[in-house]
């Protein structure tokens, strides 16, 4: 496991403030995440006053989720796009989270849309402890604009129509790795909005004509 906690090698000038109110802003971000995961497909917004100052490369909601959820117990995997000196320096300083280069060791991962065709390596948990799986934070340009899909499952009264701008490859990748109760939970983030996709949600992404509904 290659962990780097080498903050000393990063210039202190990269550091910037985190939450203005570390206790209540973290709580508000968490509650937005809880609501997003308990109501899959419905976007939750964070208020500008509750999000941390802009960190180059991270959307406001990605940054807020990292500050709210990460600490020394949560190794983080960064997609190349987010593996910048500024992000490394600030997350290691404010969260204290180890940054790992190995997907298997990550409890959280920060991804952009270029990574979504291949989710191999992330921990899916095991049948006894499915909660030990990795949580993905996926930063997108927008939470709309893609093909409209129907989501069903816990947290959804009948079905939610969600049009995330994702390729079908992502849905295939997710389905091939979801073996309930094992699976991956995702937060999609754009700007100050976030949207939850727990492993329990069934997404009908295949055209009606193909055999074997999702």
Partner 1 sequence: MNAATQPRPQAPRDEAYNFAYLDEQTKRMIRRGLLKAVAIPGYQVPFGGREMPLPYGWGTGGMQLTAAILGAEDVLKVIDQGADDTTNAVSIRRFFARTAGVATTERTPEATIIQTRHRIPETPLHADQIMVYQVPIPEPLRFIEPSETETRTMHALNDYGVMHVKLYEDIATFGHIATAYAYPVTVDERYVMDPSPIPKFDNPKLDMSPALMLFGAGREKRLYAVPPFTRVTSLDFEDHPFDVQKWEHNCAICGSHESFLDELILDDQGTQSFVCSDTDYCAQRVSQGRAVQ
What are the residues binding partner 1 (CB under 8 A)?
22-24, 26-28, 30-31, 33-34, 37-39, 68-74, 107, 126-131, 133, 135, 153-157, 180-181, 183, 185, 198-200
Shortest gap between Cβ of 156 and partner 1 (angstroms)? 6
The nearer residue to partner 1, 104 or 167, going by C-beta atoms, is 104
Shortest gap between Cβ of 53 and partner 1 (angstroms)? 19
Q: How far apart are CA 114 and CA 165, in angstroms?
A: 12
Q: Which of 98, 103, 91, 94 is nearest to 75 (CA)?
A: 98
What b/e string do you get for 51-72 counting C-beta neighbours within 10 Å, with b at 16 or more? bbeebebbbbbbbbbbbbbbee
Give rounded-to-5 percent helix, strand, coil for the chain: 30, 20, 50
Shortest gap between Cβ of 155 and partner 1 (angstroms)? 4
The nearer residue to partner 1, 35 or 81, going by C-beta atoms, is 35
CB 151 within 8 A of CB 160: yes
The nearer residue to partner 1, 146 or 181, going by C-beta atoms, is 181
Shortest gap between Cβ of 130 and partner 1 (angstroms)? 5
């Amino acid at each position: 496991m290659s962990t780097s906690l080498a903050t000393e090698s990063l210039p202190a000038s990269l550091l910037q403030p985190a939450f203005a109110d570390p206790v209540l802003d973290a709580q508000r971000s968490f509650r937005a995440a809880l609501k997003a995961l308990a109501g899959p497909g419905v976007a939750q917004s964070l208020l500008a006053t509750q999000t941390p100052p802009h960190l180059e490369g991270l959307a406001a909601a990605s940054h807020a989720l990292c500050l709210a959820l990460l600490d020394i117990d949560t190794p983080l995997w960064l997609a190349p796009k987010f593996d910048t000196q500024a992000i490394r320096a600030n997350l290691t300083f404010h969260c204290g989270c180890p940054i790992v280069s190995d997907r298997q060791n990550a409890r959280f991962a920060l991804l952009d849309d270029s990574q979504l065709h291949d989710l191999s390596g992330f921990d899916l948990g095991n049948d006894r402890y499915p909660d030990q799986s990795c949580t993905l934070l996926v930063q997108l340009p927008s939470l709309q604009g893609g093909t409209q899909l129907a989501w069903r499952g816990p947290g959804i009264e009948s079905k939610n129509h969600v049009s995330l701008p994702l390729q079908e490859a992502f849905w295939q990748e997710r389905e091939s790795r979801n073996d309930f109760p094992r699976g991956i939970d995702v937060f999609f983030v754009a700007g100050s909005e976030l949207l939850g996709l727990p492993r329990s949600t069934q997404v009908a992404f295949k055209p009606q004509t193909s055999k074997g509904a999702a």
